[in-house]
């Protein structure tokens, strides 16, 4: 199906423009939302971004995907510091004017040009780098205090210019698409969607805004090592959350937190990060078996982790445990198998003498995930105690469940409670190596006991994307109950 054909589908129900701040392909929730909305009759365009300089375009089912060029710019992160430094300089006067006059040197006594200072090496270079980093952080902290004190929540644009950069890239494209509904995924797209809706309303068109909140922003581990970043995101979210016509999110716990944090008039609808049903999975061919790609024979025990790789995910415990689990393999299915954190895990495996039992594989398409993961024996979720980790059943929880894998999960609240109530796995104390080894040994010793939990009527059926897509379609239909007027 060509792009022109895709554009014609679902026009009678209205045009939906979905926004996401990534490259789409690794974001299964966004891909499934676009695909299912298009299947339900909406004309869907999904806008993401690419770090390259050329736009990209493809079809996700009957939805169109467009990636907008947005190369990274170091200048953006420097703007807030530069703004403050210029104003401080104006208050002090120019450095040249403030400096004492230098006495003239007679020509006959003019000194020779000084020798070039030696470049710092080794420890000296590290000291210089630390000094520069500390100086930048000092300016960043001062900038945060001054701007927040003067501008309040409006300071987000100065504190993180990247947020306004999204507006410059996405805004004109959204306007040209003339949407009836804007679906803004996560916190950075919320403002972009709200401003686009406001522009459309000012021009006489009624546009609805759905905010899809993927996580509780006050509880996240900040993505950037910059004291300005997290306060900027919080101020930005507080500014635009009241503009959403409807809010959806990933769990009941997060829905309650969002309503309380932003004083929302209605409790957000819950759309779980569940995989597709058996029909979709059966139709998708995996790129090869998990064991085959790693060179693991059919009898060796395999513990798998699938998802983002970062220290707060607690993945190190899977490597540390291997010396106590002879013959067991740890497989990480991650966005970038050669990322620095994965290299650290592999280096640690070499130190422990278990390098041949640690493997890293790239993501597969979201419709292939369940079948791919089924090649393992145990699904592991070792995440650490952060506020966002306590309140949701995350995507991999459902993917492991549909793969009928026994689970080993850390004692973060929601997943621990669910795992214990269903009997589908074992819970261990986060970061407790001995307790992790106990839990893994338990499920490997009697996997059928835990797999039997999946035979409970309705359990897996309720954890499918098909069930979640009906919730999302209900939100759209409530906001746009009638067919939109014909566009000019």
pLDDT in tens, 251-263: 999 999 999 999 9
pLDDT grade, residue 160 (50/70/90)?
A: confident
What is the structure's pLDDT at 94?
A: 47
* Mean pLDDT, residues 328-349: 97
d(CA 397, CA 369): 12
- The alpha carbon of residue 62 and the mean position of all alpha carbons in its chain are separated, in whole angstroms, by 24
Rounded Cα distance, 329 and 327, in Å: 7
Higher-confidence position of 72 and 19: 19
Position 386 confidence tier, pLDDT thresholds 50, 70, 90: confident
Task: Provide the β-strand partners of residue 211.
Answer: 184, 247
Are the C-beta atoms of residues 181 and 480 closer than 8 Å to each other? yes
Give yes or no for a contact between 419 and 426, defined as CB atoms under 8 angstroms apart: yes
Inside any domain, residue 83: no
Least confident interval from 30-39, 122-131, 273-282: 122-131
Angle at 271 between CA 265 and CA 274, to 5 degrees: 165
Q: What is the dihedral of CA 347, 353, 356, 359, to 10 degrees?
A: -40
Q: Report pLDDT digits (tens) over 436-473.
A: 999 999 999 999 999 999 999 999 999 999 999 999 99
Examine the domain organization and report whether 364 and 449 are in the same domain.
yes
**Confidence band (pLDDT; 50, 70, 90) for 106?**
very low
| Bigger pLDDT: 104 vs 483 | 483
State how far Cα 373 lies from the chain centre. Answer: 21
pLDDT of residue 7: 43
Contact 217, 241 (CB under 8 A): no
Higher pLDDT, 63 or 101: 63
Query: Which of 285, 339, 284, 276 shows the shortest CA–CA distance to 307?
Result: 339
Contact 415, 390 (CB under 8 A): no
The closest alpha carbon to 323, from 162, 453, 193, 433, belongs to 433
Q: What φ, ψ does residue 86 adopt, rounded to 5°?
A: -65, -40
The distance in angstroms from the start CA to the end CA of the chain is 26
**Has residue 97 been placed in a domain?**
no
- For the chain, what percent of residues have pLDDT higher than 70? 77
pLDDT on residue 228: 76
329 in a domain, yes or no? yes
Q: Give burial (CB, 10 Å; 0-12/13-18/19+) of 190.
A: buried
- Mean pLDDT of the region 184-203: 97
Rounded to whole angstroms, the Cα distance separating 34 from 30 reads 6
Confidence class for position 12, pLDDT limits 50, 70, 90: low
The domain that holds 212 is classified in CATH as 3.40.50.2000
Mean pLDDT across the chain, nearest whole number? Answer: 85
DSSP for 202-261, please give it.
Answer: HTT---EEEEEE-S-GGGS--SSS-TTHHHHHHHHHHHHGGG-SEEEES-HHHHHHHHHH
pLDDT in tens, 196-241: 999 999 999 999 999 999 999 998 887 777 777 888 999 999 999 9
* The last residue of a domain, from among 243, 270, 297: 270
**Whether pLDDT at 77 is above 80:** no
Does residue 117 surpass a pLDDT of 80? no
**Is the CB of residue 158 less than 8 Å from the CB of residue 83?**
yes
- 393/59 Cα distance (integer angstroms): 29
Place of tokens 């106590």: 324
DSSP string, 286-307: PSS-HHHHHT--TTS-EEEEES
Same-domain pairing of 243 and 307: no
**pLDDT > 90 fraction of the chain, expressed in percent and rounded:** 68
What sign for the dihedral angle of Cα 271, 274, 278, 279? positive
Domain identity same for 174 and 304? no
Could you tell me if 249 and 317 lie in one domain?
Answer: no
- For residue 483, the 8-state DSSP code is P
**In sequence order, what are the beta bridge partners of 57?**
66
Backbone angles phi, psi at 221, to 5 degrees: -80, 115
Q: Which of 7-16, 314-323, 462-471 has the lowest mean pLDDT?
A: 7-16
Q: Are residues 304 and 287 in the same domain?
A: yes
- Residue among 1, 4, 6, 2 nearest 63 (CA): 6
- pLDDT of amino acid 254: 94
Query: What is d(CA 39, CA 277) in angstroms, rounded to the nearest whole number?
Result: 15
Over residues 164-175, the mean pLDDT reads: 96
| Co-location of 178 and 252 in the same domain | yes
Give the whole-angstrom CA distance, residue 318 versus residue 358.
Answer: 9
Q: At what angle do helices 28-39 and 465-479 cross, to 10 degrees?
A: 60
Does the pLDDT of residue 146 top 70, yes or no?
Answer: no
Task: Tell me which range, 9-23, 95-109, 428-442, 469-483, is most confidently predicted by mean pLDDT.
Answer: 428-442
Residues 364, 259, single domain; the answer is: no
Same domain, 263 and 316: no
Strand order in the sheet with 269-270: 56-60, 63-69, 43-50, 15-19, 181-185, 208-213, 246-249, 269-270
Query: What is the total count of domains within the chain?
Result: 2
Counting Cα atoms < 13 Å in the Cβ hemisphere of 76 gives: 14
R_g (Cα) of the chain, nearest Å: 26
Q: Which of 94-111 are b and which e, b meaning 16 or more Cβ less than 10 Å from the residue's Cβ? A: eeeeeeeeeeeeeeeeee
Global pTM reads 0.78
344 and 418 share a domain? yes
Range of the domain at 215: 3-72+160-270
Q: Which two tokens stand for residue 72?
A: 């990274």
Q: Which of 228, 254, 270 is the last residue of a domain?
A: 270
Do 20 and 167 lie in one domain? The reply is yes
With a CB cutoff of 8 Å and minimum separation 6, the contacts of 134 are none
Residues 295 and 168 in one domain: no
Q: Is the pLDDT of residue 287 over 90?
A: no
pLDDT at 186 over 60: yes
| Residue 221: per-residue pLDDT | 80
* pLDDT tens-digit readout, 415-434: 999 999 999 999 999 999 99
Q: Does residue 413 lie in a domain region?
A: yes
Residue 53, helix vs strand vs coil: coil
How many Cα atoms within 13 Å fall on the side-chain side of residue 437?
11
Whether residue 287 sits in one domain with residue 249: no
End residue of a domain, out of 233, 253, 270:
270
Would you place residue 19 in the very low, low, confident or very high pLDDT band (cuts 50, 70, 90)? very high
296 phi, psi to nearest 5 deg: -100, 130
**pLDDT for the residue numbered 227:** 77
């Amino acid at each position: 199906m060509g792009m022109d054909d895709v554009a014609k589908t679902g026009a009678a129900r209205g045009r939906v423009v979905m926004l996401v701040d990534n490259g789409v392909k690794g974001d299964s929730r966004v891909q499934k939302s676009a695909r299912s909305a298009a299947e339900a009759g909406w004309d869907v365009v999904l806008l993401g971004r690419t770090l390259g300089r050329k736009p990209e375009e493809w079809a996700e089912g009957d939805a169109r995907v467009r990636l907008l060029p947005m190369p990274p710019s170091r200048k953006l992160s420097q703007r807030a510091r530069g703004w403050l430094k210029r104003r401080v300089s104006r208050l002090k006067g120019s450095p040249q004017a403030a400096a004492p006059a230098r006495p003239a040197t007679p020509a006959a006594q003019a000194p020779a040009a000084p020798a070039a200072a030696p470049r710092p090496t080794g420890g000296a270079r590290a000291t210089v780098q630390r000094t520069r980093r500390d100086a930048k952080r000092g300016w960043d902290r001062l900038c945060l205090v001054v701007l927040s004190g003067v501008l309040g929540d409006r300071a987000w644009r100065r504190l993180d210019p990247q947020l306004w950069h999204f507006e410059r890239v996405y805004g004109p494209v959204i306007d040209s698409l003339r949407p009836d509904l804007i679906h803004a995924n996560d916190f950075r797209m919320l403002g972009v969607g709200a401003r686009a809706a406001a522009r459309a309303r000012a021009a006489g068109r009624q546009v609805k805004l759905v905010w899809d909140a993927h996580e509780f922003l006050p509880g996240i581990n900040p993505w950037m090592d910059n004291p300005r970043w997290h306060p900027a995101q919080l101020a930005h979210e507080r500014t635009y959350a009241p503009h959403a016509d409807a809010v959806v999110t990933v769990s009941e716990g997060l829905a309650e937190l969002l309503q309380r944090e932003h004083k929302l008039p209605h409790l957000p609808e819950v759309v779980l990060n569940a995989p597709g049903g058996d029909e979709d999975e059966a139709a998708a061919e995996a790129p090869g078996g998990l064991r085959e790609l790693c060179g693991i024979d059919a009898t060796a025990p395999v513990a798998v982790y699938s998802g983002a790789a970062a220290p707060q995910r607690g993945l190190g415990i899977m490597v540390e445990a291997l010396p106590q689990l002879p013959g067991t393999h740890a497989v990480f299915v991650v966005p970038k198998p050669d990322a620095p954190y994965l290299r650290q895990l592999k280096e640690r495996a070499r130190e422990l003498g278990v390098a041949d039992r640690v493997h890293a594989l790239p993501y597969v398409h979201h419709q292939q995930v369940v079948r791919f993961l089924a090649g393992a024996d145990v699904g592991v979720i070792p995440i650490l105690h952060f506020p966002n980790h306590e309140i949701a059943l995350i995507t991999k929880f459902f993917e492991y469940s549909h793969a009928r894998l026994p689970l080993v999960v850390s004692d973060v609240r929601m997943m621990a409670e669910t795992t214990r109530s269903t009997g589908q796995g074992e819970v261990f104390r986060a970061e407790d190596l001995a307790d992790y080894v106990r839990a893994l040994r338990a499920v490997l010793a009697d996997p059928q006991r835990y797999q039997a939990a999946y035979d409970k009527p309705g359990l897996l059926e309720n954890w499918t994307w098909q069930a979640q897509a009906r919730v999302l379609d209900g939100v759209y239909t409530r906001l746009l109950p009638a067919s939109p007027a014909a566009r000019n």
